[in-house]
Structure 1
Amino acid sequence: MSMINQMDIEEFDAEWITLIMSARKMGLSMEDIRAFLRSPFQPKKYAHNTTENDPCMSP
């Protein structure tokens, strides 16, 4: 079962709306935003919140 509740979803939705509106005010088209979100250069999501594979955290 998901740990995200309705209030979290509403908060995320409000953040996304703010981000999209900011991007639109900067002159980005919806297609520009979609292309950015689909970009293969986006950071990868990791299953675990560890620093063992993070090159910035290496000694």
Structure 2
Amino acid sequence: PRFCNQLELRQENLIQKTAVYIAERAKEICDIQSRAPDSIAGASIYMACAAAGEKKPMKGKQII
């Protein structure tokens, strides 16, 4: 939630829920325990934005 709030997304609730789902599924499917939680959150949000059609440029974004 703290990362999504800083991105000013149009579909924030949908993207937030989708990103959480993506991260949880990734934990079930892959061994991501060695990855930084911030990296997992960022990748999940990025994928959720792409799936939702959110047209926000992500290049140069640093919210951590």
The TM-score, its normalising length taken from structure 2, stands at 0.37
Larger Rg: 1
Which fold has the larger relative contact order, with Cα–Cα distance below 8 Å and residues 6 or more apart in sequence?
2
TM-score, normalization: structure 1?
0.40
* Structure showing the higher helix proportion among its residues: 2
